[in-house]
Amino acid sequence: YPPFWWYVHDSKLTHVGLPEKTLVGAFLGCTNLRKVIIPRSVRYIGEYTFRNTQITQVTINSNCTYSDTSFPENCTVDFYNN
């Protein structure tokens, strides 16, 4: 796959080459998405990117910008130890 492409297959994110900025609503409504590993290189997560998924915890870089609507309401956001 080209860099920064991804797709969901059998409810699993099968390619994790996320760009430094994720698109607004990129995974919005992927209701079977339960886990995602966000690379340290990601610096911005757009509004509603992972909204309406089943993700309950993510770890991101401390200098990554995100919105209150980037993740589901019950999702815990932790930060990598740099």
Confidence of residue 16 (pLDDT cuts 50, 70, 90): low
Query: What mean pLDDT, rounded, does the chain reach?
Result: 79
Per-residue confidence (pLDDT) for residue 2, from 0 to 100: 47
Between the CA of residue 48 and those of 23, 51, 77, what are the distances in Å? 9, 5, 15
Contact predicate 35/14, CB 8 Å = no
Average the pLDDT over 18-41 and give the result.
Answer: 75
Indicate whether 15 pLDDT > 90: no
Indicate whether 1 pLDDT > 80: no
Indicate whether 70 pLDDT > 80: yes
Average the pLDDT over 25-32 and give the result.
Answer: 81
